[in-house]
Amino acid sequence: MAIGGIPVLVFLGAAVGTDGAQPPTAVWLRDPHFEPMPAAVLQVLDTAHSVTVYAISPMTQTTERLAEATEAVRRRRMGEPSTATPPARYKPGEPKPELFHDYAVIGKVAVADPEVRREVTLAVRQALVGSGGVAGCFNPRHGVRAEAAGQAMDLVICFQCNMTSVYLHDDMSGKVISDDSARAVLNRVLEKGGVTPLKEP
Protein backbone atom coordinates (compact mmCIF):
# COMPACT_ATOMS: atom_id res chain seq x y z
CA MET A 1 0.00 0.00 0.00
CA ALA A 2 1.15 3.53 -0.69
CA ILE A 3 0.00 6.77 0.94
CA GLY A 4 0.77 9.85 -1.07
CA GLY A 5 2.99 7.73 -3.33
CA ILE A 6 5.14 6.56 -0.41
CA PRO A 7 5.45 2.81 0.30
CA VAL A 8 4.37 2.15 3.86
CA LEU A 9 4.32 -0.67 6.35
CA VAL A 10 1.25 -2.69 7.06
CA PHE A 11 0.55 -5.34 9.65
CA LEU A 12 -0.38 -8.95 9.25
CA GLY A 13 -1.83 -11.22 11.89
CA ALA A 14 -4.45 -10.92 14.58
CA ALA A 15 -4.40 -10.08 18.25
CA VAL A 16 -3.86 -12.92 20.69
CA GLY A 17 -7.14 -14.51 21.62
CA THR A 18 -8.71 -17.66 22.94
CA ASP A 19 -8.13 -19.30 19.57
CA GLY A 20 -4.37 -19.03 20.06
CA ALA A 21 -3.84 -16.54 17.23
CA GLN A 22 -0.46 -14.80 17.18
CA PRO A 23 0.00 -11.07 17.88
CA PRO A 24 0.26 -8.76 14.83
CA THR A 25 3.64 -8.48 13.13
CA ALA A 26 4.80 -5.30 11.44
CA VAL A 27 5.94 -5.84 7.87
CA TRP A 28 7.45 -3.49 5.34
CA LEU A 29 5.56 -3.13 2.10
CA ARG A 30 7.94 -2.72 -0.81
CA ASP A 31 5.72 -2.89 -3.88
CA PRO A 32 5.02 -5.46 -5.10
CA HIS A 33 6.48 -7.74 -2.39
CA PHE A 34 6.14 -7.97 1.37
CA GLU A 35 9.35 -8.06 3.40
CA PRO A 36 9.79 -8.60 7.16
CA MET A 37 10.64 -5.54 9.22
CA PRO A 38 14.45 -5.37 9.48
CA ALA A 39 15.52 -7.15 12.66
CA ALA A 40 17.84 -4.24 13.47
CA VAL A 41 14.86 -1.98 14.17
CA LEU A 42 13.54 -3.94 17.13
CA GLN A 43 17.01 -5.12 18.17
CA VAL A 44 18.15 -1.55 18.75
CA LEU A 45 15.09 -0.89 20.92
CA ASP A 46 15.59 -4.13 22.86
CA THR A 47 19.26 -3.42 23.67
CA ALA A 48 19.43 0.39 23.67
CA HIS A 49 21.97 1.92 26.06
CA SER A 50 21.14 5.48 24.99
CA VAL A 51 17.68 6.94 24.39
CA THR A 52 16.67 10.53 23.65
CA VAL A 53 13.06 11.69 23.34
CA TYR A 54 12.30 14.67 21.09
CA ALA A 55 9.45 17.14 20.82
CA ILE A 56 9.39 18.39 17.23
CA SER A 57 7.36 20.74 15.08
CA PRO A 58 5.43 19.25 12.14
CA MET A 59 6.59 22.22 10.01
CA THR A 60 9.54 21.08 7.89
CA GLN A 61 12.07 23.21 6.08
CA THR A 62 10.46 22.16 2.81
CA THR A 63 7.04 23.25 4.05
CA GLU A 64 8.52 26.53 5.22
CA ARG A 65 10.05 27.23 1.81
CA LEU A 66 6.74 26.37 0.13
CA ALA A 67 4.92 28.79 2.45
CA GLU A 68 7.40 31.53 1.62
CA ALA A 69 7.02 30.88 -2.12
CA THR A 70 3.23 30.98 -1.80
CA GLU A 71 3.47 34.29 0.05
CA ALA A 72 5.71 35.71 -2.68
CA VAL A 73 3.14 34.75 -5.34
CA ARG A 74 0.36 36.36 -3.30
CA ARG A 75 2.33 39.57 -3.00
CA ARG A 76 2.89 39.74 -6.76
CA ARG A 77 -0.82 39.18 -7.42
CA MET A 78 -1.72 41.92 -4.95
CA GLY A 79 0.71 44.30 -6.58
CA GLU A 80 2.88 44.54 -3.50
CA PRO A 81 6.61 45.25 -3.94
CA SER A 82 8.45 42.17 -5.09
CA THR A 83 11.27 43.08 -2.73
CA ALA A 84 8.99 42.75 0.27
CA THR A 85 10.26 40.14 2.67
CA PRO A 86 7.83 37.28 3.41
CA PRO A 87 6.98 36.79 7.10
CA ALA A 88 9.93 35.06 8.74
CA ARG A 89 9.52 32.27 11.26
CA TYR A 90 12.76 33.31 12.91
CA LYS A 91 13.97 36.77 13.88
CA PRO A 92 16.95 38.19 11.95
CA GLY A 93 20.18 37.01 13.53
CA GLU A 94 18.40 34.36 15.56
CA PRO A 95 19.93 30.91 15.08
CA LYS A 96 17.70 28.42 13.36
CA PRO A 97 16.62 25.50 15.54
CA GLU A 98 18.19 22.09 15.66
CA LEU A 99 16.60 19.73 13.15
CA PHE A 100 15.56 16.14 13.63
CA HIS A 101 15.29 14.76 10.09
CA ASP A 102 14.14 18.12 8.71
CA TYR A 103 11.75 18.84 11.61
CA ALA A 104 12.52 21.66 14.03
CA VAL A 105 13.35 20.46 17.53
CA ILE A 106 11.29 22.15 20.24
CA GLY A 107 13.18 20.34 22.97
CA LYS A 108 14.71 16.98 23.82
CA VAL A 109 15.36 14.87 26.88
CA ALA A 110 18.19 12.35 27.22
CA VAL A 111 16.84 9.49 29.33
CA ALA A 112 19.48 8.68 31.95
CA ASP A 113 17.44 6.43 34.25
CA PRO A 114 17.72 2.81 33.00
CA GLU A 115 14.21 1.97 34.20
CA VAL A 116 12.67 4.94 32.40
CA ARG A 117 14.76 4.19 29.33
CA ARG A 118 13.37 0.66 29.30
CA GLU A 119 9.85 1.99 29.77
CA VAL A 120 10.30 4.20 26.71
CA THR A 121 11.73 1.48 24.50
CA LEU A 122 9.02 -1.01 25.50
CA ALA A 123 6.28 1.54 24.83
CA VAL A 124 7.73 2.44 21.43
CA ARG A 125 8.24 -1.23 20.54
CA GLN A 126 4.59 -1.93 21.33
CA ALA A 127 3.48 1.05 19.24
CA LEU A 128 5.47 -0.19 16.25
CA VAL A 129 3.55 -3.46 16.21
CA GLY A 130 0.24 -1.80 16.96
CA SER A 131 -2.55 -1.43 14.45
CA GLY A 132 -4.00 2.04 14.69
CA GLY A 133 -6.13 3.54 11.93
CA VAL A 134 -4.20 5.60 9.39
CA ALA A 135 -5.06 9.17 8.41
CA GLY A 136 -3.85 10.92 5.29
CA CYS A 137 -1.39 13.25 7.01
CA PHE A 138 2.12 13.08 8.35
CA ASN A 139 2.52 15.79 10.98
CA PRO A 140 5.02 14.34 13.46
CA ARG A 141 5.39 15.95 16.87
CA HIS A 142 7.55 13.32 18.58
CA GLY A 143 10.85 11.63 17.90
CA VAL A 144 13.02 8.99 19.53
CA ARG A 145 16.71 8.27 19.03
CA ALA A 146 18.01 4.93 20.31
CA GLU A 147 21.57 3.64 20.18
CA ALA A 148 22.86 0.16 20.88
CA ALA A 149 26.12 -1.64 20.09
CA GLY A 150 27.21 0.75 17.38
CA GLN A 151 23.78 0.98 15.79
CA ALA A 152 21.67 4.13 15.77
CA MET A 153 17.98 4.35 15.01
CA ASP A 154 15.72 7.39 14.80
CA LEU A 155 11.92 7.33 14.83
CA VAL A 156 9.89 10.30 13.59
CA ILE A 157 6.44 9.72 15.03
CA CYS A 158 3.04 11.13 14.02
CA PHE A 159 0.40 10.15 16.56
CA GLN A 160 -2.14 12.17 14.57
CA CYS A 161 -2.08 9.71 11.67
CA ASN A 162 -0.42 6.70 13.35
CA MET A 163 2.61 6.64 11.06
CA THR A 164 6.29 6.41 12.04
CA SER A 165 9.30 7.04 9.80
CA VAL A 166 12.24 4.78 10.67
CA TYR A 167 15.87 5.79 10.08
CA LEU A 168 18.86 3.51 10.57
CA HIS A 169 22.19 5.35 10.70
CA ASP A 170 20.45 8.48 9.33
CA ASP A 171 19.18 6.61 6.26
CA MET A 172 15.44 6.42 5.71
CA SER A 173 14.50 2.74 5.98
CA GLY A 174 10.74 2.95 5.64
CA LYS A 175 7.50 3.82 7.39
CA VAL A 176 5.43 1.78 9.76
CA ILE A 177 1.75 1.96 10.61
CA SER A 178 1.83 2.27 14.39
CA ASP A 179 -0.57 3.28 17.14
CA ASP A 180 -0.65 6.00 19.78
CA SER A 181 0.04 3.78 22.80
CA ALA A 182 3.48 5.36 23.38
CA ARG A 183 2.26 8.96 23.39
CA ALA A 184 1.57 9.17 27.14
CA VAL A 185 5.00 7.75 28.04
CA LEU A 186 6.88 10.07 25.67
CA ASN A 187 4.91 13.12 26.84
CA ARG A 188 5.59 12.29 30.47
CA VAL A 189 9.34 12.00 29.83
CA LEU A 190 9.38 15.28 27.92
CA GLU A 191 7.33 17.20 30.48
CA LYS A 192 9.39 15.88 33.37
CA GLY A 193 12.45 17.16 31.51
CA GLY A 194 10.90 20.61 31.13
CA VAL A 195 9.82 20.23 27.49
CA THR A 196 6.23 20.83 26.41
CA PRO A 197 5.34 18.87 23.26
CA LEU A 198 2.83 20.19 20.75
CA LYS A 199 -0.62 18.66 21.01
CA GLU A 200 -2.27 16.84 18.15
CA PRO A 201 -5.50 18.44 16.91
The full DSSP string for 171-183 is: EEEEEEE--STTH
Domain contains 88: no
Domain contains 16: no
Domain contains 7: no
- pLDDT at position 111 is 98
d(CA 177, CA 138): 11
Domain contains 47: yes
- pLDDT at position 29 is 39
Domain count, the chain: 1
Domain contains 139: yes
- pLDDT at position 97 is 72
* Residue 173 lies in domain: 38-58+97-192
d(CA 90, CA 92): 7
Domain contains 46: yes
> 177 — phi, psi (to 5°)?
-80, 120
The model's pTM is 0.69
CATH code of 159's domain: 3.30.1490.410
- pLDDT at position 201 is 76
Domain contains 85: no
* Residue from 132, 129, 112 nearest 41 by CA: 129
Q: What is the mean pLDDT of each run of 10 residues along the chain (201 residues)?
A: 46 40 41 52 92 90 57 69 50 72 93 97 87 73 94 93 88 84 96 94 76
Residue 123 sits at the vertex; the CA angle it makes with 42 and 108, to the nearest 5 degrees, is 95
- pLDDT at position 155 is 95
d(CA 52, CA 145): 5
Domain contains 83: no
Residue 197 sits at the vertex; the CA angle it makes with 50 and 24, to the nearest 5 degrees, is 65
> 190 — phi, psi (to 5°)?
-65, -50
